[in-house]
Amino acid sequence: MRSLIRRRVAPNAAVYIVAGLIAVLFIAGASVNDRFSTLSNLLNVHQQSTGLALVALGQTLAVLTGGIDLSVGSLISVAATLTSGLSDATRGGWGVAISVAIALSVLVGLANGLLVLWLRVHPLIVTLGMGAVLQGGILYYANGPVGSVPDGFDALAYGRYANVPVTATVVRADNVVNMLVQFAPLGIVVIGQVFVILVGGLDLSVASVMATAAVIATAFDDTNHSAPAIFGVTLLLCIGAGLLNGLLVTKRQVSPFLATFATAVVLDGLRFAYTQGAPSGNVPPLFHVLGTGSIAAVPVNVLLLIACAIVFGTLLHLSTFGRRVYMVGGNAVAARLVGVSPDTVRIACYVISALLAGLAGLILSGYVGIVDNWVGRGFELDSIVAAVMGGLALSGGRGSLLGGLAGAAILVIVFNIVLLIGMPVQAQIIVKGVIIIGASACYVSRRQR
């Protein structure tokens, strides 16, 4: 027991200490003044700490590499001045202002890094000098206020959206419920994707499985009497898709990317052939309950997610099968030498992924209420990004189910905030792309370590 505690606690001791210190400070603040623990004050603390937290995140990366960055304060002033000045100059074109500010920040970071790397100058001296250069440049450019802050930045800097704090909107009960409803189907798909990634695979067919399951949900009459048939056909579909993926990967040695992509194409073709490109019909009332119903103010699909997380979390982390999953993902040859069949484990993981994708498709069909050929579109990418953000290694053998779910939660919250501040659809796609690049960079960094 002691060795187990050391293995689990020791590597994260600093995190536990910081968390304990925050808890102690919170209790102390609440005991000194009753207003400290009110929602309005906590939101105020959050708004004050956001900017510092972002800078601290970048500073952490610099410190981890043995450096330090003293130019951040000057760079903040430069970015703020350029944003307001260029926004006024371009008559509200804050997109140009943001682009220029980001480009300058990248150049400053590159200059700092190259000077430290090539000239072997101490990071303290380099970044201190860069800070002085930036400070002098901004004083030369504008010795005083240069313009007003764009409207879009009012929502970011002051946390305002339609005169309502964005943070308050995010944590408002109805918005939290909305995020949970969005999170549940993605979380269910992520659970299946976690199993596949842990054995070194990838499942790009989950979105097609979801859409096909949604079409099946409307293929029968729209009464609850057809629910058993819908579940039965969906079960057969998912088992077939999972077996096809697993057999292609294990028996025919097809790369997981190509195998699951081919399965997705086959399912799309079958679905469009069945619906003739114009799906019609309604789902039974039971699926409306699965998609939009609630029990004691908790969405039903969230309860299903919790049930799936408990069942499959137990299977992954507390069962012999779960240990075999990690063995196969870590070293398939060694797993085979100790009597474990890597092919069987991989096939089972693909079947699990397909089954959970089918369940998520049925839930989404109940949420939409009508049949749609593109239910779940984008979930194949979102589920992989969420898993990688949650700490799973695409090479297999490392990661946890809880980490994958945490990554999915981060994605949903980020997209929700983007919607709340009124960013257009194009900007949402850009944000998703940035998250994907960042997640990939984190994965490469972990792999190199």
Per-residue pLDDT reduced to its tens digit, 252-291: 889 999 999 999 999 999 988 888 877 667 788 888 888 8
Mean pLDDT within 358-374: 83
The position carrying tokens 């490109």 is 277
What are residue 134's phi and psi, to 5 degrees?
A: -65, -40
Most confident region among 77-86, 164-173, 251-260 by mean pLDDT: 251-260
pTM for the complete prediction?
Answer: 0.66
Please, which pLDDT band fits residue 179 given cuts at 50, 70 and 90?
Answer: confident
CATH number of the domain located at residue range(s) 172-448 in this protein: 1.10.3470
Q: Which of 32-46, 127-141, 333-347 has the weakest average pLDDT?
A: 32-46
CATH 1.10.3470 in the chain is located at 172-448
**Of 194, 187, 215, which is closest to residue 379 (Cα–Cα)?**
187
- pLDDT value for 111: 87
Mean pLDDT within 193-202: 94
Q: Which of 119-128, 227-236, 314-323, 331-340 has the weakest average pLDDT?
A: 119-128
Please, which pLDDT band fits residue 322 given cuts at 50, 70 and 90?
Answer: very high
Please tell me the distance from the alpha carbon of residue 71 to that of residue 13, in angstroms, as a whole number. Answer: 31
Q: What is the pLDDT of residues 22-81, one digit of tens each?
A: 777 778 777 777 777 776 777 677 667 777 888 888 888 888 888 888 888 888 887 777
7 token code pair = 């293995």
CA quadruple 198, 200, 204, 210: dihedral sign? negative
Please tell me the distance from the alpha carbon of residue 170 to that of residue 22, in angstroms, as a whole number. Answer: 22
Mean pLDDT within 435-449: 63
DSSP annotation string for 150-206: PHHHHHHHS-EETTEEHHHHHHSHHHHHHHHHHHHHHHHHHHHHHHHHHTT-----H
Query: Cβ contacts of residue 407 below 8 Å, gap of 6+?
Result: 190, 385, 386, 387, 388, 389, 390, 391, 439
- pLDDT value for 134: 81
Please, which pLDDT band fits residue 153 given cuts at 50, 70 and 90?
Answer: low
Please tell me the distance from the alpha carbon of residue 259 to that of residue 189, in angstroms, as a whole number. Answer: 18
313 token code pair = 């979390």
Query: Cβ contacts of residue 440 below 8 Å, gap of 6+?
Result: 388
250 token code pair = 């294990």
Mean pLDDT of the chain: 80
